[in-house]
């Protein structure tokens, strides 16, 4: 459909079906449209993956569509004022400025940052790459190094490709050991499994067990059989202790994978050094519990260990993700039903992947020498690369679907750096804490206006399904899709045109393992079911030798850093993060229906710490780290481990120039004004946003005690 035709039609009254693209659960939605507006949203009971599940965010997805703060036409900033531009004029100007900076300072002087929703919009995902290649800068950053980078690192080392991520077969397991994940709030991550409350309950109903390890007794603990507190950042020690017991008691039984795997003897040798007794103090989990968990896990008919952002956004993320894979492997639970398996999506990103590639440490950041992974540098290096003068200094910035001022470490410093950048352009529908710094903003059509297929999340899904979502609302003549913006930029940069997302999808689907097509997927509006995950090794391994590497050299070398934790002093108080069901990172605080109720940007702390520091519930507290200070209300709870405090990320909407009316009224403070770019998982370059040492000081104490 052409753009001008698109403006002519409003959606007819009736039911519309599409996948929710707000989080990784990719729930099927049923939307009712009446008189051109969405009057009802519910879960699509016929979706073969989500079976009618929906969360409060999906239910208000249309509020993003109607948000008066959402931008629809390009704008150019002159001081504090923004003026609208035509698309051609805007794209011409952006490309001229980017090339000007590159001509003056070199191709790498322009940095690109891609944020999380790039992966939730197939138009963006399939077209941003062409633009980045045409730009020709090596200064690429994304939310990955503030997120799942350790998963990719471990997968690349062990199985030969960053996307060879083993996914828990939650629907068929008998023992689910979950660390540092809270699917009841997050709806699951690197485990696309809508309706996790029901799926976890089902494990228990079939006689299985759910064990949760987390410094906070989270919402997910409610549906677990057991919850254990753990000292933030010590999970690698816990996992090694489990392996220690399994090897020492000869409970290891890798089964058919034994002859496909290298490094098992090495693993046994390494684990011998980490007895439960030795790690108990550093982890805060007693030796008897560790022993019991190891025995139970090994004895369960089908078991799977899974760890998400609590295990990757910490100082030993790479080791954690490796050890999780190893635990599944040595107990015979890798690539088998009820264990950790690989989905086979209709659009298979691994289908044409080359064997034996190297994905890391091929180049390093200029200032601190931080390692590249898969063509990207760690976001922890971003601000210093702008602020440190010299050859190779960053001068211009492109953001795509991101808000790094609120989502990356020491965001305030990045904010200051961006104020001095020579040029900045943001491809984003909102003026947020980051994009307010842009000189030009190019706002794409989003959500219900877009066509979408989950290119990435079917790779993470606990069941093989496929679903294409067509737009419900036509876009206006003055609007553009992400892929049109990227294509416009790319053509101007390189003179070349690329294939459209549709053409790429069609090709991938037709040549993919399901030999399907866009038309075939369209004919099944609730989605197509291809059944449960199936064993696929050794065929799908992408290592040079076609074997599993259970003891990769970079992991073994990193154990030295871990050993130091055993004798290190435990900081008085450390900061961890948390997610909330009605938030989505930094960008959905502008939906009024999601913001009702008490203030959510609170510092949770245990009553023991509160008493020691003389802090009362509701009192304003100043939280200080090496890099910054924020002030937030205290929330006292026994759900937090003593010595640990928790603050959600994604708040901090109070900066001048942010155009998010609702969010600004619930501004809160940014957790990433406390997180520290110096705290890293040095192996992978991921930020260690969890486990940041902080100190607290109660404010307003004088007035409050006077009122007693
Ligand atoms: N302290 C701490 N920090 C964290 C985390 C944490 O747990 N603790 N989590 C980290 C994680 S896991 C992530 S993924 C990051 C997220 O951090 P980012 O990816 O940097 O930011 P988001 O908050 O997801 O912002 C998304 C932006 O995309 C825009 N957007 C939405 N849809 C579209 C679209 O279709 N096209 C385009 N072009 N733009 C769109 C929104 O307007 C918004 O501005 O935060 C990380 N930061
Ligand atoms: N509602 C909602 N859903 C979301 C998002 C959102 O912002 N809101 N964001 C989406 C994104 S981008 C992502 S990446 C996923 C993340 O999905 P999850 O990983 O499930 O997200 P969290 O709820 O942050 O859970 C992380 C848990 O790790 C714990 N933790 C912190 N440090 C440690 C540690 O050192 N060890 C252990 N064992 N645990 C620790 C925290 O207490 C927390 O409970 O969620 C996605 N879904
Ligand atoms: S769980 Fe995620 S995908 Fe499902 S409705 Fe909520 S936001 Fe959308
Ligand atoms: Mo994420």
Phi, psi of 305 (to 5 degrees): -105, 135
Ligand nearest to the CA of 580: 2
Q: How far is the CA of 300 from the centre of ligand 4 (A)?
A: 31
To test the pocket of ligand 1, the residue of 445, 460, 587, 628 to mutate (highest count of ligand atoms within 8 Å of its CB) is 587
> Would the CB of 428 count as within 6 Å of ligand 1?
yes
Longest CA pairwise span in the chain (Å): 73
What confidence score (pLDDT) does residue 9 get? 72
Of ligand 2's listed atoms, the one at least distance from the Cα of 183 is: 20
Q: Which residue has the tokens 């919009």?
A: 121
CA distances (Å), 332 to each of 209, 302, 303, 338, 649, in order?
A: 18, 9, 9, 11, 37
CB of 237 closer than 8 Å to CB of 282? yes
Q: What percentage of the chain has pLDDT greater than the value 90?
A: 97
> Would the CB of 628 count as within 6 Å of ligand 3?
no
Average pLDDT over residues 383-392: 97
Of ligand 1's listed atoms, the one at least distance from the Cα of 430 is: 42
> Would the CB of 429 count as within 6 Å of ligand 1?
yes
Average pLDDT over residues 687-700: 96
Does residue 523 register a pLDDT over 80? yes
Q: How far is the CA of 146 from the centre of ligand 4 (A)?
A: 8
Q: How far is the CA of 117 from the centre of ligand 1 (A)?
A: 6
Does residue 436 register a pLDDT over 90? yes
Confidence band of 701 (pLDDT split at 50, 70, 90): low
Sign of CA dihedral 257, 258, 261, 263: positive
Does residue 610 register a pLDDT over 60? yes
The Cβ-side half-sphere exposure at 201, using a 13 Å CA radius, reads 6
Helix (H, G, I), strand (E, B) or coil at 119: helix
Q: Which of 375-389, 487-501, 575-589, 692-706 has the lowest mean pLDDT?
A: 692-706
What confidence score (pLDDT) does residue 706 get? 38
To test the pocket of ligand 1, the residue of 145, 429, 594, 652 to mutate (highest count of ligand atoms within 8 Å of its CB) is 429
Of ligand 2's listed atoms, the one at least distance from the Cα of 213 is: 38
Does residue 164 register a pLDDT over 80? yes
The Cβ-side half-sphere exposure at 558, using a 13 Å CA radius, reads 24
Confidence band of 418 (pLDDT split at 50, 70, 90): very high
**Model confidence pLDDT, tens digit, residues 470-486:** 999 999 999 999 999 99
> Would the CB of 247 count as within 6 Å of ligand 1?
no
Residues having CB within 6 Å of any atom of ligand 2? 23-24, 116, 147, 179-183, 185-187, 189, 213-216, 218, 230, 232-233, 235, 308-311, 314, 576-581, 583-585, 690-691
Of ligand 3's listed atoms, the one at least distance from the Cα of 25 is: 3
> Would the CB of 151 count as within 6 Å of ligand 3?
no
> Would the CB of 576 count as within 6 Å of ligand 1?
no
Confidence band of 2 (pLDDT split at 50, 70, 90): very low
**Model confidence pLDDT, tens digit, residues 550-607:** 999 999 999 999 999 999 999 999 999 999 999 999 999 999 999 999 999 999 999 9
Of ligand 1's listed atoms, the one at least distance from the Cα of 586 is: 23
To test the pocket of ligand 2, the residue of 185, 234, 239, 646 to mutate (highest count of ligand atoms within 8 Å of its CB) is 185
> Would the CB of 586 count as within 6 Å of ligand 1?
yes
Q: Per residue, what are the HEC states of 663-699?
A: HHHCCCCCHHHCCCCCCEECCCCEECCCCEECEEEEC
Give one DSSP letter per residue of 451-501, joined into a string. -EE-TTGGGSBSEEEE-EE--SSPPPTT-EEHHHHHHHHHHHHHS-----H
> Would the CB of 444 count as within 6 Å of ligand 1?
yes
Structure token pair of residue 381: 């290096």
> Would the CB of 54 count as within 6 Å of ligand 3?
yes
Does residue 208 register a pLDDT over 80? yes
Average pLDDT, the chain: 96
Q: How far is the CA of 705 from the centre of ligand 4 (A)?
A: 42
What confidence score (pLDDT) does residue 519 get? 98
Q: How far is the CA of 27 from the centre of ligand 3 (A)?
A: 6
Of ligand 2's listed atoms, the one at least distance from the Cα of 57 is: 1
What confidence score (pLDDT) does residue 229 get? 98
Of ligand 3's listed atoms, the one at least distance from the Cα of 19 is: 3
What is the C-alpha to C-alpha distance for residues 486 and 689, in angstroms, rounded to an integer? 32
Q: What percentage of the chain has pLDDT greater than the value 70?
A: 98
* Structural domains for the chain: 70-149+343-551 (3.40.50.740), 166-341 (3.40.228.10), 569-707 (2.40.40.20)
Whose C-alpha lies nearest to ligand 3, atom 6?
Answer: 55
Does residue 408 register a pLDDT over 70? yes
Confidence band of 103 (pLDDT split at 50, 70, 90): very high
Whose C-alpha lies nearest to ligand 3, atom 2?
Answer: 23
> Would the CB of 185 count as within 6 Å of ligand 3?
no
Residue 186: which H helix or E strand, with range? Answer: helix 183-186
Q: How far is the CA of 308 from the centre of ligand 4 (A)?
A: 10
Does residue 627 register a pLDDT over 70? yes
- Measured between alpha carbons, how far apart are the two ends of the chain, in Å? 68
Ligand nearest to the CA of 21: 3
Q: How far is the CA of 446 from the centre of ligand 1 (A)?
A: 14
Q: Which residues contact 272 (CB under 8 A, 6 or more apart)?
A: 244, 247, 248
Does residue 704 register a pLDDT over 70? no
**Model confidence pLDDT, tens digit, residues 212-249:** 999 999 999 999 999 999 999 999 999 999 999 999 99
């Amino acid at each position: 459909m052409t753009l001008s035709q698109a403006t002519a039609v409003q959606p007819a009254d009736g039911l519309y079906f599409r996948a929710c693209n707000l989080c990784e659960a990719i729930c099927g939605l049923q939307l009712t449209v009446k008189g051109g507006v969405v009057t009802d949203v519910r879960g699509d009971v016929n979706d073969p993956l989500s079976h009618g599940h929906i969360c409060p965010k999906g239910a208000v997805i249309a509020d993003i569509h109607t948000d008066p703060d959402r931008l629809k036409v390009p704008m150019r900033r002159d001081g504090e004022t923004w003026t609208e531009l035509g698309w051609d004029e805007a794209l011409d100007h952006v490309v001229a400025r980017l090339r000007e900076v590159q001509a003056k300072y070199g191709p790498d002087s322009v940095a690109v940052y891609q944020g999380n929703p790039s992966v939730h919009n197939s138009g963006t995902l399939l077209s941003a790459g062409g633009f980045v290649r045409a730009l020709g800068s090596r200064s690429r950053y994304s939310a990955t190094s503030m997120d799942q980078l350790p998963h990719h690192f471990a997968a690349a080392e062990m199985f030969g490709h960053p996307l060879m991520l083993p996914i828990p077969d939650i629907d068929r397991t008998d023992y689910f050991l979950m660390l540092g994940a809270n699917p009841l709030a997050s709806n699951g991550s690197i485990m696309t499994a809508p309706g996790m409350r029901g799926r976890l309950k089902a494990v228990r109903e079939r006689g299985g067990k759910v064990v949760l390890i987390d410094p906070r007794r989270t919402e997910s603990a409610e549906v677990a059989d057991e919850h254990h507190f753990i000292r933030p950042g010590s999970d690698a020690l816990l996992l090694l202790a489990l392996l220690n017991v399994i090897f020492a008691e000869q409970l290891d039984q890798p089964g058919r994978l034994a002859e496909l795997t290298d490094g098992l003897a090495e693993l046994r040798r390494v684990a011998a050094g980490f007895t439960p007794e030795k790690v108990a103090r550093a982890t805060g989990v007693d030796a008897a519990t560790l022993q019991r968990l190891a025995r139970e896990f090994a004895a369960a008919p089908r078991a799977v260990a899974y760890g998400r952002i609590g295990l990757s956004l910490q100082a030993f993320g790479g080791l954690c993700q490796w050890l999780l894979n190893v635990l599944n492997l040595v107990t015979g639970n890798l690539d088998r039903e009820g264990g950790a398996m690989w989905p086979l999506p209709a659009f298979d990103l691994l289908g044409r992947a080359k064997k034996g590639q190297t994905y890391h440490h091929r180049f390093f950041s200029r200032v601190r020498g931080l390692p590249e992974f898969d063509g990207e540098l760690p976001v922890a290096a971003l601000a210093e690369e702008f602020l440190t003068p010299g050859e190779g200094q960053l001068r211009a910035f492109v953001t795509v679907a991101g808000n790094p001022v609120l989502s990356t470490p020491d965001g305030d410093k990045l904010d200051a750096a961006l104020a001095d950048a020579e040029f900045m352009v943001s491809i984003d529908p909102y003026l947020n804490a980051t994009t307010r710094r842009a000189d030009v903003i190019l706002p794409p059509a989003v959500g219900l206006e877009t066509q979408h297929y989950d290119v990435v999340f079917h790779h993470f899904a606990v069941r093989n399904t496929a679903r294409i979502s067509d737009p419900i609302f036509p876009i206006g003549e003055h609007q553009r899709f992400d892929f049109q913006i990227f294509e416009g930029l790319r053509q101007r940069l390189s003179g070349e045109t690329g294939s459209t997302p549709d053409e790429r999808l069609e090709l991938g689907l037709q040549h993919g393992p399901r030999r399907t097509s866009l038309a075939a997927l369209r004919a099944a509006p609730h989605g197509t079911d291809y059944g449960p995950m199936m064993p696929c090794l050794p065929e799908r391994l992408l290592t040079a030798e076609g074997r599993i590497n259970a003891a990769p050299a970079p992991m073994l070398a990193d154990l030295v850093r871990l050993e130091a934790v055993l004798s290190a002093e435990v900081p008085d108080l450390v900061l961890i993060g948390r997610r909330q069901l009605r938030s989505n990172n930094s960008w959905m605080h502008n939906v009024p229906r999601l913001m009702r109720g008490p203030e959510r940007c609170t510092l949770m702390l245990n009553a023991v710490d509160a008493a020691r520091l003389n802090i009362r519930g509701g009192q304003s507290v100043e939280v200080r780290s090496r890099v910054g200070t924020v002030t937030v209300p205290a929330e006292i709870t026994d759900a937090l481990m003593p010595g640990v405090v928790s603050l959600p990320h994604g708040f901090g909407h109070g900066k001048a120039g942010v155009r998010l009316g609702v969010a600004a009224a619930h501004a809160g403070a940014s957790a990433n004004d406390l997180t520290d770019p110096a705290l890293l998982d040095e192996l992978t370059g991921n930020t260690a946003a969890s486990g940041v040492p902080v100190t607290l000081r109660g404010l307003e104490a004088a007035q409050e005690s006077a009122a007693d």
